Chain A
Amino acid sequence: MNAHPTYFRILGTVALALLGFFLPRFLGGSSHVYDTLGTIASFSAMSYGLDIILSDLGEISLAHTAFFATGAYASAILSVDYGQGAWVAMAGAVLAALALALVLGLITLRTREFAFSLVTYAAAVVCMNIAANWDFLGGSDGIVGIPPLALTIGPLSFAASQPPQFWPFAYGLLLLTLYVVHRFRRSRLGQAALMVHMNPRLASMCGVDGNRVRLLVFLVSAPISALAGWLYAFQRAYVGTDLFDTYFLVLMLTGVILAGRRLLLGPLLGTALLVGQKSFFSLGAYGDKLVLGAVLVGVLCFCPKGLASLWPRAPGRALRQM
């Protein structure tokens, strides 16, 4: 092996990233296109949070809607009630999600499989109940009037009140998320998570502390979904208890599973297909729900390894994925 392939890889990645940035323009550049792609970016960022729990740790967290909502609520409160800027809101979203993840992670430390899923689900229900009843969190009306996203980096400042202006932020967050997930999978923690998933006994014999790994992965995963929530709060200018809706949960799960687990671009492609359908070929709210459910059940029952597994892949690539 010489250095060239790596070089090409980096060049290719940069080219792809640039191409992605101009994608809305290639698709016509209408406000609707920008809006859809922005939503795809924030929802797939949300899915990536769940992705590393589901694909790497092998558990189903049903609490990720809560992390997503936590990020959104923290941003809304900081920017509406305290008049803080987007950076502070971002820090608040991450810190709040970390705190929640720490509590939840400690609670679920010794639970596995459906016990884990049930506890995380119960936690999401408790969070929703609190959000719906606590005036501080807007109660059932939610929090309205979130200002447009405005970020200042040194002398530069960006503001986004229209979908096309919003797109760079959404795209930037998506790239950041992809980078984090990519690094996570190559990190020692990512490897340890996979070991704990595949063979917990062997992992513990190798000196990997399963509970510690699970907690840390949880702490990595929660801020990812929370950042998506941060973005989504500004995008919609409103947060409410509908953020806890099962729709988001099923969207995340389907996004992760549709293309195939442990594929870096998998959740992005999955979410893009789902949100794209909803945005361009909508069958109405119920029809979309039906499609979402049918896609999820169809993939799991007939092609549980995801659509990508139908693709005959070169052995070299397959190995690298492992």
Chain B
Amino acid sequence: MNIAQQLVNGIIIGHAYALVAIGWTLLLGAARLVNFGHGQIYMVSAFVAWWIMSMTGAPYVLAVVVAIAAGAVIGAIMQRLFLRLTLSQDLVNLMIATLGFGQILEGAAGLTFGPKPETLTSPLQAVTFDFGPVWFTAQDALAVGATILVFLGLHVVLNRTRFGAAVRMVAEDPPLVALYGIPISRVYISIFAFEGAAVALAATLIAPRTPILTSMGFEQVVMTFVVVVLGGIGSVGGSYVAGLLLGLFTAIFSALISPAYTTAAVFALLIAFMVLRPGKLAAGGNFAR
């Protein structure tokens, strides 16, 4: 049992969790939208990247860029569809609608890409770094680095720019935003496109670790729920910390106790948290902090 390696694994997985969750965190904080189609956007983006590479022989980097664009477009389509529900803050219907949207993506991806498992190959996956008892791949390092950059970037944009202020305004009081002359649907479309693009980035960086399947959507992002909730709804910094802690928890739990029950353990943790501190779940409280 190599504790140091487990810690490294935990850090890598933790950053992956955080990166997958970031778009959703923003979406939940700013638009109060629980996106159950999040996992399917992840899946579609991974497949788009794979398809680009296997059809055109394009390099990995280009596939990443195309997949991010595809994710942003999917996000924008979601916004177009859900604008009315978002503006009226019909949260119950919105949540169900995102479930349906996820089904559409999954069905469409199945029809397009077929039922076979595929592999998204990144050249960085083959490059490994050995430091005595621990090792990791260049792909892992890239994922961790990208996560840190995305979180820092988002933090700066939200807190230091006028656009970020507009996002925080939308989160606080959507009708009032109009009186500041800001067209709210444009702010929403940016938020949705960011959600799509961010999860697409996550998919292209993390999916090379495992085979990809069109049915993987839900499982791949199951931890996102936990990260988003434990981090404090809509809190960017909180998501990062929650992702990291959760990564460490799962790595150590699966090494010491049982890999099969890791998800159940994490969700039991989530349930305990929500039951003990339901007040912490009010959205907008520490948004963007």
Contact = CB atoms under 8 A, between A and B. Distances in A.
Interface of A: 54, 58-60, 107-108, 110-111, 113-115, 117-119, 121-123, 125-126, 129-130, 132-133, 246, 249-250, 253-254, 257, 284-297, 300-301, 304
A288 B104 CA distance: 9
Q: Quick one: which of A119, A121, A249, A300 has the most chain B CB within 10 A?
A: A300
Q: Range of interface residues on chain B? A: 35 or more
Interface of B: 28, 32, 34, 81-82, 84-85, 90-93, 95-97, 99-111, 214, 218, 222, 225-226, 229, 260-261, 263-264, 267-268, 270-271, 274-275, 278, 281
B91 A121 contact: no
A296 B99 contact: yes
Nearest to B83: A301
Contacts of A118: 34, 225, 229, 270, 274
Contacts of B222: 125
B281 A300 contact: no
Contacts of A58: 92
Given A126-B264, A286-B111, A301-B81, A115 B102 contact: no
A115 B214 CA distance: 28
A60 B36 CA distance: 12
Given A250-B100, A297-B97, A300-B85, A125 B274 contact: no
B114 to A, nearest CB: 9
A122 B99 contact: no
A320 to B, nearest CB: 24
Contact of B107 (A54, A249, A293): A293
Nearest to A286: B110
B100 A294 contact: yes
Given A122-B271, A290-B104, A133 B91 contact: no
A296 B103 contact: yes
A304 to B, nearest CB: 6
A126 B99 contact: no
B99 A304 contact: no
A123 B267 CA distance: 7
Contact of A254 (B84, B100, B226): B100
A126 B268 contact: yes
B103 A250 contact: yes
